[in-house]
Structure 1
Amino acid sequence: MTVQTPFQTTVTVVGMTCNHCTSSVQEEVGEIAGVRSVDVVLDSGAVTISSDRPLARPEIEAAVVEAGYTLA
């Protein structure tokens, strides 16, 4: 049996002001292939992504932009 350790990536998202904002970011980033979980901290804008593979900044940025926000 092989146990894979997830990769973790943390980025900062600018412009989130409410729980709806965090939900939008979680939903869009969660649709990236291989993403296991997305944790968002509203106050700091920190978004921590656990995934099965390394994620490239451009693919994360595309998902964040789709949600209506930008990366710092």
Structure 2
Amino acid sequence: MMTITLNVQGMTCGHCKMAVTNALKELDGVKHVEVHLQEGTVDVDYDETKVNVEKMKEAIEDQGYDVK
């Protein structure tokens, strides 16, 4: 199990938090997601044998947010 912190720009409210959380949780291998709106970060616990960082970034970007 791995943990990564992604810097996500454009999240400002509860809807943003829910959109990012749900997009990541739909990916096979993502176990836990914690969004920090104030910091603009997302902590993700995931199984590196099932999902990679690129897939997570794509899922977030598909929701309209920028991942740095």
With the length of structure 2 as denominator, give the TM-score of the two structures: 0.87
Cα deviations across residues 22-71 of structure 1 (Å, max 9, x unaligned)? 11000001111111110000011110001122643321111001221110
SS in 1 for 2:34: strand
Question: Identity over the aligned pairs, expressed in percent?
Answer: 31
Give the length in aligned residue pairs. 67
Unaligned 5+ segments in structure 2 are none
Q: Which runs of at least 4 in structure 1 moved beyond 3 Å after TM superposition?
A: none
Larger Rg: 1
Please, which runs of 5 or more residues in structure 1 have no aligned partner?
1-5
Whole-angstrom distance in 2 between the partners of 1:10 and 1:30: 15
Q: Please provide the CA RMSD for this pair.
A: 1.3
